[in-house]
């Protein structure tokens, strides 16, 4: 069939317009996936590990994680929105601030008191499953045939969401969304795990290679614990190498987006459970697909961004309700601030909020009349905490260590120049030269709390229900007795309105 010249010209113009629209759509696309095959997504989540890696100046060898970093993009300024596992993981799996979904109290919603996600919010694995992905969650290495890997979500959810714990069991050609959970710093919590770690890595990290914050004394017990922690990171590096090898052997490494992150910082006196950088700053590395290689980004990101990054990579629309951002989008505007919230941890009631810019950190303590290390079975069961208390009683700590770890009260507000004071040791709240910065960050914290529906503390009735479960899940008679005593202290303070 032969078309006339006018018809042919119109056809050519129509074809040209389609081509132009196609390239415009490609240019404005929010996804880093440009292939026709759906990419796999793998999250490697490490327990109790912050930024104690060579990139941040620590003297250990982590060749596999270094390779992952070198073959992708790493964020030097990445932060979790909560400094403890279950709120951080609840935020991670939804792309929402834990405060915005009522999941902000550590290990909550497990007993008689139930927590439900808002109707509009879906878990990220649900979004992938709806698109035909094989969805898994596994501990690595698998221990005692536990089945699914660590979840630790503070709301009701159906375990049938996950198809299993091994992505290799999917149908041929089916893409997967997988989570792998590594014990990380927790490998030093039990003698058998620590022995396993030492066998795997060989010689313990030398004390003279350790980069200890100035508020921890160079005492043999503290140094040994920190060396054990660094050995745990070396062991974790070996495990990451094994996981990457599994992907390579299957031939899917190049079509898999990998995100590696820590779920909170090191478990120590001023780390895990607190909003100092030691507790909330974590490794966050992304490799695969069209992620730029060998890039170190310095802009601020939050761990809730990993959901949006993953959805965009797979070409799945990011829901409007999601608070995480696709930090690889061409339209992405870097965050000016990142936020943090700490609430009840176990039986220990606290309420702390923070906002951080590239240069400054603001922290608000809602219960300043109580010390940093208030009654906590979790903290007080650690040898390093008991050792610190002993050194304090023996007057073997420096003035700075006493002030930051054992002051009878905490300041209601804290302000730190992160660039010049990375360990957050000099509180600038009372320095008139920083009044404008203090007002700005205080205002940002209040604005964030309003806009994210930051919830009020638990009522006495809800706390009582949660503590029934807390006591029941505590292992050991001695620990149960301690938890019961602590619960009594906090209930007394609630009645006396000290909380």
- DSSP string of 101-139, one letter each residue: GT--SBT-SSSSS-----TT---HHHHHHTTT-EEEEEE
Residue 26 above 60 pLDDT?
no
Residue 437 above 60 pLDDT?
yes
| Strands of the sheet with 176-182, listed across from one edge | 134-139, 176-182, 40-46, 256-262, 284-287, 72-75, 295-297
CATH superfamily of 38-329: Alkaline Phosphatase, subunit A (3.40.720.10)
Q: How far is CA 353 from CA 103, 241, 455, in A?
A: 15, 36, 12
Q: How far apart are CA 486 and CA 472, in angstroms?
A: 14
H or E stretch at 41? strand 40-46
Q: How far apart are CA 267 and CA 278, in angstroms?
A: 9
Backbone angles phi, psi at 190, to 5 degrees: -130, 145
Percent of the chain scoring above 90 in pLDDT? 90
Reported as a pLDDT band with limits 50, 70 and 90, residue 497 is confident
Residue 9 above 80 pLDDT?
no
Helix ranges restricted to H, 220-282: 220-250, 277-280
Which pLDDT value is given to residue 289?
Answer: 84
Name which residue leads in pLDDT, 23 or 155: 155
For 179, other C-beta atoms within 10 Å of its C-beta total 27
Q: How far apart are CA 357 and CA 88, in angstroms?
A: 20
Domain boundaries of the chain, sorted by first residue: 38-329
Q: How far apart are CA 227 and CA 220, in angstroms?
A: 10
Q: How far apart are CA 267 and CA 392, in angstroms?
A: 20
Q: What is the pLDDT of residues 88-116, one digit of tens each?
A: 999 999 999 999 999 999 999 999 999 99
Residue 178 above 60 pLDDT?
yes
Rounded average pLDDT over 48-70 = 97
Q: What is the pLDDT of residues 213-268, one digit of tens each?
A: 999 999 999 999 999 999 999 999 999 999 999 999 999 999 999 999 999 999 99
For residue 332, the number of C-alpha atoms closer than 13 Å in the C-beta half-sphere is 21
Residue 17 above 90 pLDDT?
no
Q: Which residues are CB-neighbours of 301 under 8 A, at least 6 positions away? A: 75, 77, 78, 79, 284, 325, 327, 335, 338
Which pLDDT value is given to residue 19?
Answer: 37
Reported as a pLDDT band with limits 50, 70 and 90, residue 7 is very low
Is residue 358 left, alpha or beta, with left meaning phi > 0 and alpha meaning psi from -120 to 50? Answer: alpha
What does DSSP say about strands 284-287 and 256-262: parallel, antiparallel, or unpaired?
A: antiparallel
Percent of the chain scoring above 70 in pLDDT? 92
For 70, other C-beta atoms within 10 Å of its C-beta total 14
Which pLDDT value is given to residue 229?
Answer: 98
Which pLDDT value is given to residue 16?
Answer: 43
Rounded average pLDDT over 383-405 = 98
Reported as a pLDDT band with limits 50, 70 and 90, residue 290 is confident
Q: Are 228 and 383 in contact (CB under 8 A)?
A: no
Q: How far apart are CA 56 and CA 126, in angstroms?
A: 35
What does DSSP say about strands 176-182 and 338-342: parallel, antiparallel, or unpaired?
A: unpaired
For 281, other C-beta atoms within 10 Å of its C-beta total 26
Task: Name the least confident of 13-22, 225-234, 409-418.
Answer: 13-22
Reported as a pLDDT band with limits 50, 70 and 90, residue 13 is very low
Which pLDDT value is given to residue 142?
Answer: 85
The structure tokens 């939050």 sit at 302
Give 290-296's long-range contacts (Cβ < 8 A, gap of 24+): 290/32, 290/33, 290/34, 291/32, 291/72, 291/73, 291/257, 291/328, 292/72, 292/73, 293/70, 293/71, 293/72, 293/73, 294/70, 294/71, 295/72, 295/73, 295/74, 296/55, 296/73, 296/74, 296/76
Q: Locate 86 and state its tokens.
A: 């279950």
Which pLDDT value is given to residue 432?
Answer: 97
Name which residue leads in pLDDT, 34 or 96: 96
Which pLDDT value is given to residue 144?
Answer: 57
For 432, other C-beta atoms within 10 Å of its C-beta total 8
Q: What is the pLDDT of residues 307-340, one digit of tens each?
A: 999 999 999 999 999 999 999 999 999 999 999 9
Q: How far apart are CA 387 and CA 379, in angstroms?
A: 12
């Amino acid at each position: 069939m032969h078309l006339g010249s006018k018809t042919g010209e119109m056809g050519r113009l129509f074809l040209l317009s389609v081509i132009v629209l196609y390239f415009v759509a490609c240019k404005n696309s929010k996804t880093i996936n440009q292939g026709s095959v759906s990419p796999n997504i793998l999250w490697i989540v490490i327990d109790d590990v912050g930024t104690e890696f060579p990139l941040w100046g620590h003297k250990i060898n982590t060749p596999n994680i270094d390779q992952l970093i070198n073959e992708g993009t790493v964020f030097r300024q990445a932060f979790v929105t909560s400094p403890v596992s279950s709120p951080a993981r609840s935020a991670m799996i939804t792309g929402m601030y834990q405060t915005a979904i009522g999941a902000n109290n550590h290990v909550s919603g497990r007993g008689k008191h139930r927590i439900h996600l808002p109707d509009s919010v879906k878990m990220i694995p649900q979004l992938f499953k709806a698109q035909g992905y094989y969805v898994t969650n596994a501990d690595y290495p698998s221990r005692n045939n536990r089945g699914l890997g660590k979840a630790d979500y503070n709301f009701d959810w159906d375990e049938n969401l996950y198809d299993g714990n091994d992505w290799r069991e999917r149908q041929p050609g089916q893409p997967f969304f997988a989570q792998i959970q590594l014990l990380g710093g927790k490998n030093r919590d039990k003698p058998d795990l620590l022995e396993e770690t030492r066998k795997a890595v060989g010689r313990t990290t030398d004390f003279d290679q350790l980069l200890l914050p100035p508020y921890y004394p160079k005492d043999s017990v503290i140094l040994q614990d920190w060396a054990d922690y660094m050995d745990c990171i070396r062991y974790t590096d070996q495990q990451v190498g094994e996981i990457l090898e599994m992907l390579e052997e299957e031939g899917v490494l190049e079509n898999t987006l990998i995100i590696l992150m820590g779920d909170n910082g090191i478990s120590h006196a001023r780390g895990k459970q607190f909003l100092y950088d030691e507790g909330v700053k974590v490794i966050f590395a992304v490799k695969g697909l069209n992620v730029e290689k060998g890039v170190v980004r310095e802009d601020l990101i939050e761990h809730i961004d990993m959901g949006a990054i993953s959805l965009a990579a797979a070409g799945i629309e990011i829901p409007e309700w999601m608070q995480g951002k696709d930090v690889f989008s061409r339209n992405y505007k870097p965050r000016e601030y990142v936020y943090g919230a700490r609430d009840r941890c176990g039986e220990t009631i606290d309420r702390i909020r923070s906002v951080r810019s590239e240069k400054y950190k603001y922290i608000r303590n809602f219960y300043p009349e109580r010390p940093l290390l208030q009654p906590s079975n979790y903290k007080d069961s650690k040898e390093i905490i008991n050792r610190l208390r002993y050194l304090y009683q023996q007057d073997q700590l420096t003035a700075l260590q006493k002030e930051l770890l054992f002051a009878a009260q905490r300041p209601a507000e804290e302000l730190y120049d992160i660039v010049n004071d990375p360990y957050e040791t000099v509180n600038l709240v009372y320095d008139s030269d920083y009044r404008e910065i203090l007002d700005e960050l205080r205002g940002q914290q209040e604005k964030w709390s309003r806009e994210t529906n930051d919830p009020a503390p638990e009522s006495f009735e809800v706390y009582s229900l949660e503590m029934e479960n807390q006591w029941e899940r505590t292992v050991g008679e001695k620990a149960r007795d301690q938890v019961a005593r602590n619960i009594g202290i906090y209930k007394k303070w609630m009645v006396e309105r000290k909380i």
